[in-house]
């Protein structure tokens, strides 16, 4: 008597969005300009310090939220910043895209040249050598921007759900959506088909394969269980089965190679889709 075990699919979603690298410019004779290309953001924030490393995700000397792009880019601008060649800025940036927040951490940038307001390099021979300030002269004012406005971030009740790549998740916020609108399973770039013998904690008596066990039609993902002997050959349940060439499990373990040893191999071949986003 053959036992057919149906698959209980576990799906994970891939999300690997990286914040575009920030472009920093020292404007001559005064000014700092920071920008990133617009990628559908609803907010861009810049936090940085001059010649002093950041203490984690602190606000910093510069701390500003920008809510509107200009000409396809998001700009932070300090027109009073006095930067010298060799100065170093430590910074981190933050963007909100599709309701989720993403950071670019541990940024470092060294002033090696000046540019004009139009972004054209300034001839270094025309840049005057800095003259030490006399003690009788008033000190150069230091720019101290106001702290970020709390309302610039979307106000919400934080959820206990944790999503990789997102700083905060709001209660009731959509964190996963898949339309399965591709013509073929192989076109699902955000998913990976698992090939292995599943182990703990459930020890389902089957094996996951990537071919002939799943289909996409009219936006619906269908997973088919197949009898092992129908897939391979009669008597395979009492033989060995090696998946090492395509195995997505740990090579050299029972996840990739099974020998019946008086028992039997799993009677059912099925399918499982995995991705790399953690949702807790």
Three-state secondary structure call for residue 151: helix
Q: Is the peptide bond before 201 cis (omega within 30 degrees of 0)?
A: yes
pLDDT band, very low/low/confident/very high, at 279 (cuts 50, 70, 90): very low
pLDDT band, very low/low/confident/very high, at 196 (cuts 50, 70, 90): confident
What percent of the chain stands above pLDDT 70? 65
Average of per-residue pLDDT across 44-49:
96
SS3 content of the chain, % helix, strand, coil (to 5): 5, 30, 65
Of 40-44, 153-157, 193-197, 221-225, where does the model show the most confidence? Answer: 40-44
Does the pLDDT of residue 82 top 90, yes or no? yes
Choice between 238 and 267, residue whose per-residue pLDDT is larger: 238
Q: What Rg value do the Cα atoms of the chain yield, rounded?
A: 28
Choice between 199 and 19, residue whose per-residue pLDDT is larger: 19
Pairing of strands 273-274, 23-26: unpaired
237, 4 contact by CB (below 8 A):
no
223: which 2 tokens? 């997973």
Q: Per residue in 133-177, pLDDT tens? A: 444 555 666 656 666 555 445 557 777 777 666 666 777 777 766
pLDDT band, very low/low/confident/very high, at 280 (cuts 50, 70, 90): very low
pLDDT score at 13: 43
CB atoms near residue 251 (< 10 Å): 13
pLDDT score at 69: 97
pLDDT score at 133: 43
Does the pLDDT of residue 50 top 50, yes or no? yes
pLDDT score at 202: 58
Total-model pTM: 0.44
pLDDT score at 7: 38
pLDDT score at 157: 74
Does the pLDDT of residue 1 top 50, yes or no? no
- Lowest mean pLDDT, pick from 58-72, 94-108, 159-173: 159-173
Does the pLDDT of residue 8 top 90, yes or no? no
pLDDT band, very low/low/confident/very high, at 271 (cuts 50, 70, 90): low
Q: Per residue in 207-217, pLDDT tens? A: 887 777 777 77
166: which 2 tokens? 């997102």
Query: How many Cα atoms are found within 13 Å in the side-chain-facing hemisphere of 137?
Result: 7
Bridge partner residues of 47 (DSSP): 63, 92
Three-state secondary structure call for residue 182: coil
Q: Report how far residue 107's alpha carbon sits from residue 104's, in angstroms, rounded to the nearest whole number.
A: 7
Choice between 37 and 202, residue whose per-residue pLDDT is larger: 37
223, 9 contact by CB (below 8 A):
yes
Does the pLDDT of residue 108 top 90, yes or no? yes
94, 57 contact by CB (below 8 A):
no
Is the torsion defined by CA of 273, 184, 165, 169 positive or negative?
Answer: negative
176: which 2 tokens? 């996963």
CB atoms near residue 136 (< 10 Å): 5
Q: Report how far residue 89's alpha carbon sits from residue 99's, in angstroms, rounded to the nearest whole number.
A: 29
């Amino acid at each position: 008597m053959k036992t057919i075990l149906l698959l209980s699919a576990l799906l994970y979603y891939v999300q690997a969005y990286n914040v575009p690298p920030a472009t920093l410019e020292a404007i001559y004779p005064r000014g700092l300009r920071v920008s990133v290309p617009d990628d559908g953001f609803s907010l861009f924030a810049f936090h940085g310090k001059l010649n002093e490393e950041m203490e984690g995700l602190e606000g910093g000397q510069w701390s500003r939220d920008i809510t509107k792009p200009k000409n396809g880019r998001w700009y932070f601008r300090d027109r009073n910043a006095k930067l010298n060649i060799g100065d170093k800025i430590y910074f981190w940036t933050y963007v909100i895209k599709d309701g989720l927040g993403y950071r670019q951490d541990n940024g470092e940038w060294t002033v090696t040249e000046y540019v004009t307001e139009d972004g054209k390099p300034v001839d270094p021979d025309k840049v005057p050598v800095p003259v030490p300030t006399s003690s009788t002269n008033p000190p150069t004012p230091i720019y101290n921007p106001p702290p970020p406005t709390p309302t610039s971030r979307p106000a919400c009740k934080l959820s206990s759900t944790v999503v990789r790549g997102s700083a905060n998740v709001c209660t009731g916020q959509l964190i996963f959506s898949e339309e399965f609108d591709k013509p073929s399973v192989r076109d699902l770039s955000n998913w990976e088909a698992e090939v292995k013998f599943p182990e703990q904690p459930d020890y389902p008596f089957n094996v996951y394969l990537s071919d002939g066990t799943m289909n996409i039609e009219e936006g619906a993902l269908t997973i088919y269980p197949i009898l092992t002997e129908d897939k391979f050959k009669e008597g395979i349940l009492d033989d060995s089965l090696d998946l090492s060439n395509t195995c997505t499990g740990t090579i050299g373990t029972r996840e990739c190679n099974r020998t019946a040893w008086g028992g039997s191999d799993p009677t059912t071949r099925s399918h499982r889709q995995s991705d790399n986003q953690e949702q807790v």
